[in-house]
Structure 1
Amino acid sequence: MEPFTIYEQQMQRKLTRWGIRLQKEPNLLERASKSIQNRINQVIPDKIHTTITATVKGIVQTTLFGITYMPKTDPLRGVSMADRDAKAEELLSLYKKIAAAEGAGTGAGGILLGLADFPILIGIKLKFLFELAHVYGYSTHDYRERLFILYVFQLAFSSAKKKPELLHTIKNWPAISQTFPPAADVMKQVNWLQLQQEYRDTIDFRKMLQLIPGIGAVVGAWANFGLLEELGVAGMNCYRMRNLQDKAAELADK
């Protein structure tokens, strides 16, 4: 196998900088924002928390056990990282447009459709991540790959305090993934309430604006477009990291 290309070396440096940013302590604004969000959570009725948690849990169960998001194409093999990145950028561009159109439609429909956007948007994001996995050569037929997608999802939308722990898991995925029990038992290890709160808190402000009459359509498109962009950056970097780790392991074996 050929040594790392110039492009791959550039990506290694980019990933190092990205990892450092993720592990920084929350700044004053982030801490203040989190404090406000915690207060909001305390006044939201438990019934709403339960409903949202059940929604997230149902979608995640579909991710792990269903075929709803499974790509019809096989994972790409024998493709350079530069080519994978180019295909990933095309994929992200498409899904940002899909998410923006969906956000504009539900945002224009008022509060009820705005709330309906919550599960729809998660589905769009997960479908994107499934296809992204195949772009970088990983088959989502393996439940561990589907579980990896959930960690990427959490990394993109978790608090600054939580990101270092998630990044550690992703960096050490080859070893950690071998310790997982059967898929059915993995479900018991997920903190559903924490997952939905982290996700909701990250998108809270943007998505609440979507419910405001008169500006909902514009805000809905803007919010969903931005959220897919954030997910795209996290997803591409996580899969780049794995590609480079896989290559390093293969080079070490020779």
Structure 2
Amino acid sequence: MDNSWSIYEQQIAKALRLWEKELLKPPGLLEKTSKAVSTRINQVIPDKVHQTITAAVKGIVQTSLFSIDYIPSSPPLVELSLAARDHKAEETISLFKKLAAAEGAGTGAGGILLGLADFPILIGIKMKLLFQLAHIYGHSTQDYRERMFVLYVFQLAFSSQLKKKPLFETILHWNETVSSLPSEESYVQHIDWQQLQQEYRDTIDLRKMLQMVPIIGAAVGAWANYGLLDELGSAAMNCYRLRRLQQSYKQNE
């Protein structure tokens, strides 16, 4: 811990250690049970539904990474304390959670067809949140390497316990990762789209499939989307906090 850090930064450093410990713990009974139930549900869902979901995941993530549509219009924030950035991040996450909950309630009330429509919409909301958070913590998503960081954060939030460790190591050692990234023109070829899609779907399937059940769909849709945005926002904040503290530590060496 850097003695030049503010009290707030020292508190965040302690919180990050606890988060890392929780993040990397072995899968428990709840995770194993959820995986088993999700697998059973997947077996009775028509293949066309699975194909639609898989295509939506890949399509929206690719669009966010390779187009300017998701890049915030305002430039990255500079010369703000970590506490000020966290405050702005929390406000932004709160707004996106409400947006996602409203969208989930609306599509959840419509049964399986609108439930399917919710998948690409929700992924888009998630990616827009991540791009906003990147700028709040001072990183320009005009830079393709920052968009790659966004993708790793997305995967970290929605991956199984077994996959979280290598993803976290990539984020933890981002300076080393950046030096080995391929060029902007070729890095798409280095993304394991199949793994990304499967991990994302396996993580959210149980909650989102329940959204397609008549009568309870609206309530479940709002609950699921709110919770998923909360998880994503928390993971993103901690990843960007980690980078800020690492940067501060190196500057004071």
Quickly name the TM-score band, shorter chain normalised: over 0.9
Partner of 1:230: 231
Contact 2:75 2:140 in 1 (8 A): yes
For residue 27 of structure 1, report the CA deviation from its aligned partner: 1.3
Letter in 1 for 2:24: Q
For residue 52 of structure 1, report the CA deviation from its aligned partner: 3.0
Partner of 2:141: 140
Separation of aligned partners in 2, 1:239 and 1:217: 33
Separation of aligned partners in 1, 2:30 and 2:132: 34
Separation of aligned partners in 1, 2:212 and 2:45: 17
Partner of 1:17: 18
Percent of pairs identical after alignment? 63
Separation of aligned partners in 2, 1:86 and 1:124: 20
Cα RMSD after superposing both structures: 1.7
C-alpha distance 215-51 of structure 1, shift in aligned 2 (>3 A)? closer
For residue 186 of structure 1, report the CA deviation from its aligned partner: 1.5
Contact 1:96 1:224 in 2 (8 A): yes
Structure 2 gaps of 5+ residues are: none
For residue 214 of structure 1, report the CA deviation from its aligned partner: 1.4
Contact 1:159 1:198 in 2 (8 A): yes
For residue 6 of structure 1, report the CA deviation from its aligned partner: 0.5
For residue 60 of structure 1, report the CA deviation from its aligned partner: 1.9
Separation of aligned partners in 2, 1:82 and 1:186: 34
Query: Any residues of structure 2 matched to 1:85-234 within 5 Å, and which?
Result: 85-234=86-235
Per-residue displacement from partner, 1:72-125 (whole Å, max 9, x unpaired)?
A: 111110000000000001001100010011111111122101110000000000
For residue 63 of structure 1, report the CA deviation from its aligned partner: 1.8
Per-residue displacement from partner, 1:18-43 (whole Å, max 9, x unpaired)?
A: 00111111113322332443455566
Separation of aligned partners in 2, 1:130 and 1:184: 20
TM-score by length of structure 1 reads: 0.93
Separation of aligned partners in 1, 2:219 and 2:38: 24
Partner of 1:78: 79
Contact 2:85 2:137 in 1 (8 A): yes
For residue 49 of structure 1, report the CA deviation from its aligned partner: 4.3
Structure 1 gaps of 5+ residues are: none
Query: Any residues of structure 2 matched to 1:40-79 within 5 Å, and which?
Result: 41=42, 48-79=49-80
C-alpha distance 56-184 of structure 1, shift in aligned 2 (>3 A)? farther
Separation of aligned partners in 2, 1:216 and 1:37: 17
Separation of aligned partners in 2, 1:215 and 1:48: 20
Separation of aligned partners in 2, 1:193 and 1:14: 33
Task: Determine helix, strand or coil for the equivalent of 1:184.
Answer: coil
Contact 1:56 1:192 in 2 (8 A): no
Task: Determine helix, strand or coil for the equivalent of 2:185.
Answer: helix
TM-score by length of structure 2 reads: 0.93
Contact 1:64 1:183 in 2 (8 A): no
Task: Determine helix, strand or coil for the equivalent of 1:162.
Answer: helix
Letter in 2 for 1:161: L
Aligned residue pair count: 251
Separation of aligned partners in 2, 1:97 and 1:25: 31
Separation of aligned partners in 2, 1:215 and 1:46: 23
Moved more, 89-98 or 189-198: 189-198
